[in-house]
Structure 1
Amino acid sequence: MGVQKSTFDLGVPWEKAAGYAQAVQVGDTIYISGQLGHEADGTMVSPALDGRQSVEHAVMKAQLTQAYRNARTILEHFGCTFDNVVEEVVFAIDIQAALAVMKEVRDEFYGADAKPQVANTTVGTTALAIPGQVVEVKFIARLG
């Protein structure tokens, strides 16, 4: 007998193709898969048009903002907000571009006046899964 789980998907094509859930709840913990900067239909927001490691800040901000919007949809499904997030991991193909816009984007979702009580790890990487993707954010949230 396995662990009791509740899952949630956004309905994008790669969920079924890759065989994973966008989020899994086990007990009072919600594990949210890496969120991308894509619209509901899976279309990437502001896709980077080349494979360079240097990304315009506007592209990074647009994709990072959409990744947080997608995470908000998942959190809301479980009756949560960003106040429930305890950890996030950001993967970016241009870490300097990510660092330049992360605070502004976080302020939008955690609150500009709030001091986010969230653990963060930011990782530079050479590639991500979807062509044109420049950033991905994984979250862990706790109910309560």
Structure 2
Amino acid sequence: MKKTYLKNISVILLVASLCFGCNQNNTEKTPVELPPIEVKVEVPEYFQLRPEVEKLFGYSHAVKIGNDIKISGAVSMDADGTPTAAGNFEQQMINCYADLQKILNHYGCTFDDVVVENIFTTNMPKFLEAAAYRNEIYTKQFPAGSWLGVKELAMPEFMIEIELEVFKKE
């Protein structure tokens, strides 16, 4: 039994000396050179489709950060902010997409780059009747998104508002 006990202790000491080695008092470590890390700081880029109107109402029509672009809801209005196509749901929808196209063009994007589309409407049945128009807008795939019936939009004449999120490929 003593012989086995001494043998086990010898094995433990041998393993310990191999693990800790002769340099256990050496606290100096050789520095490892790592490649430099490039940190890209993303700065928001703001875009205004109608600067005077947007300043008056307190918003930017789009903000781009890196590859992501958030586009505020487009409504049917003229350059002065006056609602257009009052009472004509289909024309208001066409006008919204026309404004969104201008913003996408500014960033070098198309509707194929849209990843989220949220539609707000005061008249869901009219939207559902006109929704097929979106097939002309989205020719490759439809984005994720929501269709929301709301009580009212910013002005009583507005029947539809469409906001987008875009991922711009580099």
Instruction: Judge same fold: TM > 0.5, yes or no.
Output: yes
- Return the alpha-carbon distance in structure 1 between the equivalents of residues 131 and 94 of structure 2: 9
Alignment match of 2:105 (pick from 52, 73, 76): 76
1:87 is aligned to 2:116? yes
Structure having the higher Rg = 2
Three-state SS of the structure 1 residue aligned to 2:166 is: strand
Partner of 1:26: 65
Alignment match of 1:108 (pick from 111, 136, 150): 136
Q: Percent identity?
A: 32
Alignment match of 1:118 (pick from 130, 135, 143): 143
Deviation at 1:39, TM superposition (A): 2.9
Three-state SS of the structure 1 residue aligned to 2:73 is: strand
Deviation at 1:43, TM superposition (A): 3.1
Alignment match of 1:9 (pick from 27, 36, 48): 48
Three-state SS of the structure 1 residue aligned to 2:163 is: strand
Could you tell me which runs of 5 or more consecutive residues in structure 2 were left unpaired when the two chains were aligned.
1-40
Could you tell me which runs of 5 or more consecutive residues in structure 1 were left unpaired when the two chains were aligned.
49-58
Contact (CA 8 Å) 1:34, 1:138: kept in 2 or not?
yes
Runs of 4+ in 1 over 6 A off after TM superposition: none
- Return the alpha-carbon distance in structure 2 between the equivalents of residues 29 and 17 of structure 1: 26
Write the deviation string for residues 14-57 of structure 1: whole angstroms up to 9, x where unpaired: 31012210000011000000000123343322113xxxxxxxxx
Alignment match of 1:45 (pick from 74, 84, 87): 84
- Return the alpha-carbon distance in structure 2 between the equivalents of residues 7 and 92 of structure 1: 26
1:138 is aligned to 2:153? no
Q: Aligned residues, how many? A: 129
Contact (CA 8 Å) 1:12, 1:41: kept in 2 or not?
no
Contact (CA 8 Å) 2:76, 2:83: kept in 1 or not?
yes
1:96 is aligned to 2:125? yes
Deviation at 1:74, TM superposition (A): 0.3
User: What RMSD, in angstroms, separates the aligned Cα atoms of the two structures?
Assistant: 1.7
Contact (CA 8 Å) 2:74, 2:163: kept in 1 or not?
yes
Three-state SS of the structure 2 residue aligned to 1:63 is: helix
